[in-house]
Structure 1
Amino acid sequence: MVIDDFFNGFGGSYVAEILRRPIEELKIAFEALVDDAEFDKDLLQLQQDFVGRPTPLLFAEHATRELSGPPIYIKLEGYAHTGAHKINNALGQVLLAKRMGKRRIIAETGAGQHGIATAAACARLGMECVVYMGAVDVMRQQPNVAGMELYGAKVVPVYSGAQTLKDAINEAMRDWAANFQDTHYLIGSALGPAPFPHIVRTFQSVIGRELREQLTRRSIEAGTLVACVGGGSNAIGFFSSFLDDTSVRLIGAEAGGMGPSIGQHAVRMSSEDASEGIIHGYKSRFLVDSDGQVSATHSISAGLDYPGIGPQLAALGVSGRIEYTSASDIEALEAVRFFARNEGVLFALESAHAGAVAMRLARESSPDERPIVINMSGRGEKDLFITSPYFRREEWERFLASELHMVQKREEFK
C-alpha cells in the first residue's frame, strides 16, 4: 500500500523539520504493516476479545413510530469497550507503535473518549501512556479523567489558549518533537499531517465494513447514513464502505452550539466563518477570526469543540458526496432524552448531534422511504455531569450542595 498525502488538495504534511523524520518513519511502517497478515490477525483477535466487536445494529422501533418517518437503525458503536468508537483506532495505533519498537504513547483528547481508549489499549499492550487534555475539558469530563488514571495513564492538563482540544494537540506535538525516538503520537481523529488521516480511517473502517455486512445479512437497503463530525474519525469510519455507493446519502452533523456568531459554534463546512488553511500540520477548512487566527469555538460536546475538520471529510464535502448540516446544543440534549426514553439507549452528546439531525430528517420524510442509520459513536454515561443540570436541575443543585457540605465536614474533622 502506498499512501497519497492529499485528498483533492486537502491534507498534506506541513510540519516542522524536526518532525519530518518521525512522520516518514511512521508512513513507511504503516504502509508495510497494513498489508501484513500477522498484524491483521493480531488486530482482529484484539477487536473480538478485547473490544467486543462486532457492535450491534439496533432497529429503533419506538423512535421510528414516534417520528412517523422511515425506519431508523442505530449502529451501537458506543457498546465497544471503553464506551466509544475511539478504541478501534487507539488499539490499532498502539499495536503499530509496539511493532515499531516504541515504548511510550502520547495522545490528545477532548471529550476524554480517545484518552480513555488510548490508556486502556496501552494497559493491555504494556505501553507507557501520557494524555494531554485542555484544562476546560478536564473539568467537564472528570469521569473520563478518572478512568484514564485508573488505566495507568498520566493526564496532563493544558492551560494555554482556550484550554480545549486544539491546545491539547499543540502540547502533544511539542512532546513528540522532543521525544520521537521512543514515542509515538497517537492522534485520535482523522486529521493532522499525513499519514495520520489514512491511519485513523483504516482502523475506523471496521465500523463501515460491519455495517455493510449487517445490512446485507438482514436485507436492508439503507437510504441515509448520519454521523456527527468533529475531527471526523467516527464519520469517515462509518461512511467508508459507502463512499462509492451514491444511492446512499451521507450526512455529517456538526456542532451548531449556541448560535451562528463566531465563537458560539464549531461549524466548518457550512459556515461563513470557516475558510481553507493550514493548521496542525494539514490543509483543511478551519474556523478563523477576522485576523486569520484560529477562532474560539463552542459545543456542549467536548469532542466536537474543534476548529477544523479532517481533510478527507473536507474534500468529500466540497465535492458534494457528504452533505453537512448542524444541530444546536439544545437539539442535541433533546435527542439524548428522546432516544433514552424511546429506545433505552443513552447517546453521548457528540453522537446526539447525529441523532438530532436524524430526527429532523425522519420528520421531513415519508415512512416508505429507505431507512436512516445513525452512528451512535459513544455512550452518554460520561456526560451525566453535563446533562444533569439540564434534565434535573433542582436535584442536581441539592446533590452538589450536599457534596460540598460533606467536604466541609471532612475538612473540619481533620
Structure 2
Amino acid sequence: MDFLSTPDAEGFFGSYGGSFLPAPIQKEIDKITEMYLKLREDASFWTEINSIRKHYQGRPTPLYYCNRLSKAYQAHIYLKREDLNHTGAHKLNHCMAEALLAKKMGKNKLIAETGAGQHGVALATAAAYFGLSCEIHMGEVDIQKEKPNVDRMIVLGAKVIPATHGLKTLKEAVDNAFEAYLKDPEKSIYCIGSVVGPHPFPMMVRDFQAIVGQEVHDQYLQMLGKLPDHIVACVGGGSNAIGMFSAFLDERVELHGVEPAGKGIHLDGQHAATLTKGKRGMIHGFKCYNLEDEKGEPLAVHSIASGLDYPGVGPEHCMLKDSGRVDYVSVTDEECIQAFYELSQLEGIIPALESAHALAYAKTLGTLDAGANILVNLSGRGDKDLEYVLKNFPAHEYYLEEQESNPI
C-alpha cells in the first residue's frame, strides 16, 4: 500500500475517514479544505510556519539518549524531546499552523476541545500570538485533574467552558466544541486537537505534525549512522504518533502505537484501547474504529491520561492497523505510572502521563528484544499531571532502588 498517497480526494484512508456532516456545516468545512489545499502548495505559507517553528517554538527539539534508563530497560532508549517544544508538548506544531490558516481565512475566533489540556494551552498560545479570540471546551473531570493547564489557558486569554454531560471527559468536550462551532462557522474555526474528525482535519493535522518525524529521522541518522529498530508513540486520537511514524512508513523500522489499557483491557468502560478492542463505526463525522456498546453508542472509556480517553481514533491509524504496518498494543494505568516515575528518577525528566504509556511499552520491548535501539516520542512534559499523580500514586511508593550499572 502506498501510505504516502493518502488520503484520497474525499478524505479516506482506505475505508476510514471521510466527512459525514449536515449540508450547511459541510459547506463551511469545504471552505477550510479548499484553503488548506491552496496553502499546502504555497511556499510562503511554509516559510512563515518554519520561521515560527525556529524562532518561537524552539524547533528542532532534541534527540536524547537515556543512559540510566537504558540500563534499567536493557535496551538503548532514545527520546524525541517534544516536551521541550514551546508550551510543553507536540500540540503547538499544528495549533500555530491552524491559527495561521484561520487568519488567512479571515476568521476571528478559534474553538477547540482538549483532554489533558495541552491542545488547549497550545491553541490559546496560538490565539494570543495571532490576535484571535479563543474558546476551549474541556470535560469537567479533566478540568479538575489538569488544573495547571486550565490556569495557563486562562492566563493566555482563552475562555474555558466545562463539558458537564455524560462522563465529562474528552468525548463530551468534542461534542460541546462542535456545537459551539455550529453556531457561527463563518467567523470561527474549529481547530481539532488530533488526527481525528471529518476531512480535512486528519490530513491537515498529520501534515503539520510530520515535522516531528522529519526532524528525528535526520537526527537519528546523524547520531548513530542508522535508523532505530523500534519506534514507539502513545495513541489516543493519534497526532503525535502519526507525526513520528510518517517519516518511517517506507523504512525497515518496527512501529508501535501504544493505547491505554486503563484498569484492564477486558473490562468494558475501564480502558480506551480503541484499535485493540474496537470495531468499525462512525463518530464525530468520520469513519474509524470505535469503542461501542451493544446499541452502537460510544462506550464509556477510561485512562489515567486525560489526553488518551477517546472512544474513536484517527482514520490513518485504522488503515495502518489493517495493513499490519503498525503494531498497536496497550499498557495499563499501573504500568504507565511505573514508567512515569522511572524516567523521572533515572533521567530527571518528568513525562506527561500520555507519553509514559509509550515509555512503558519501550520497557516491554527491552525484555522482548534486549539491546535493541528504541526511539520513543516523548510527546509532552508532566507538569500538568503532578498534583493528580502525587495525590493518587504517592512518590514514596515508587522510589527506585539503585540500578545495577551493567552495560547493555
Q: Which amino acid aligns with 2:205?
A: V
Structure 1 residues 219-238: Cα deviation after superposition (integer angstroms, max 9, x where no partner): 13211100000000000001
Q: C-alpha displacement at 1:390, in angstroms?
A: 3.9
Residue number among 126, 130, 134 corresponding to 2:135 in the alignment: 130
TM superposition score normalised by structure 2: 0.93
Number of the residue aligned with 1:340: 344
Give yes or no for contact 1:108–1:168 (8 Å, CA) kept in 2: yes
Residue number among 197, 200, 216 corresponding to 2:202 in the alignment: 197
Q: C-alpha displacement at 1:366, in angstroms?
A: 2.4
SS at match of 2:20: coil
Question: 2:52 and 2:386 mapped to 1: Cα distance?
Answer: 29
Q: 1:81-96 alignment to 2 at 5 Å? A: 81-96=86-101
Question: 2:310 and 2:123 mapped to 1: Cα distance?
Answer: 19
Give yes or no for contact 2:217–2:247 (8 Å, CA) kept in 1: yes
Alignment RMSD, CA only?
1.4
Number of the residue aligned with 2:187: 182
1:163 is aligned to 2:168: yes
Give yes or no for contact 2:195–2:201 (8 Å, CA) kept in 1: yes
1:363 is aligned to 2:358: no
Give yes or no for contact 2:217–2:227 (8 Å, CA) kept in 1: no
Number of the residue aligned with 1:297: 301
Q: C-alpha displacement at 1:4, in angstroms?
A: 4.4
Give yes or no for contact 2:133–2:158 (8 Å, CA) kept in 1: yes
Question: 1:307 and 1:20 mapped to 2: Cα distance?
Answer: 23
SS at match of 2:376: strand
Residue number among 68, 80, 94 corresponding to 1:62 in the alignment: 68
Residue number among 222, 232, 240 corresponding to 2:238 in the alignment: 232
Question: 1:3 and 1:65 mapped to 2: Cα distance?
Answer: 48
Q: Which amino acid aligns with 1:269?
A: L
Structure 1 residues 357-399: Cα deviation after superposition (integer angstroms, max 9, x where no partner): 00110122122x3x1000000001110011102443799xxxx
Q: Which amino acid aligns with 1:10?
A: Y
Q: C-alpha displacement at 1:217, in angstroms?
A: 1.5
Give yes or no for contact 1:18–1:177 (8 Å, CA) kept in 2: no
Of residues 212-221 and 29-38 in structure 1, the stretch that sits farther from structure 2 once superposed is 212-221
Structure 1 residues 196-229: Cα deviation after superposition (integer angstroms, max 9, x where no partner): 0001001000000001110121213211100000
Structure 2 unmatched ranges of 5 or more? 398-408
Q: C-alpha displacement at 1:3, in angstroms?
A: 4.3
Number of the residue aligned with 1:404: none
Number of the residue aligned with 1:149: 154
SS at match of 1:346: coil
Compared CA separation, residues 66 and 265, structure 1 to 2 (3 A): same
SS at match of 1:155: strand
Number of the residue aligned with 1:400: none
Residue number among 275, 290, 299 corresponding to 1:269 in the alignment: 275
Give yes or no for contact 1:349–1:380 (8 Å, CA) kept in 2: yes
Give yes or no for contact 1:3–1:31 (8 Å, CA) kept in 2: no
Question: 2:9 and 2:216 mapped to 1: Cα distance?
Answer: 25
% same residue = 42
TM superposition score normalised by structure 1: 0.92
Number of the residue aligned with 1:384: 386
Superposition misfits of 4+ residues, deviation over 6 angstroms: none
Question: 1:27 and 1:106 mapped to 2: Cα distance?
Answer: 17
Q: 1:206-355 alignment to 2 at 5 Å? A: 206-218=211-223, 219-245=225-251, 247-259=252-264, 260-271=266-277, 274-355=278-359
Task: Specify the structure having the higher radius of gyration (Cα).
Answer: 1
Q: Which amino acid aligns with 1:389?
A: K
Question: 2:74 and 2:235 mapped to 1: Cα distance?
Answer: 26
1:42 is aligned to 2:48: yes
Q: C-alpha displacement at 1:43, in angstroms?
A: 0.7
Compared CA separation, residues 36 and 231, structure 1 to 2 (3 A): same
* Number of aligned residues: 389
Question: 1:376 and 1:214 mapped to 2: Cα distance?
Answer: 15
Number of the residue aligned with 1:118: 123
Number of the residue aligned with 1:374: 376
Q: Which amino acid aligns with 1:291?
A: K
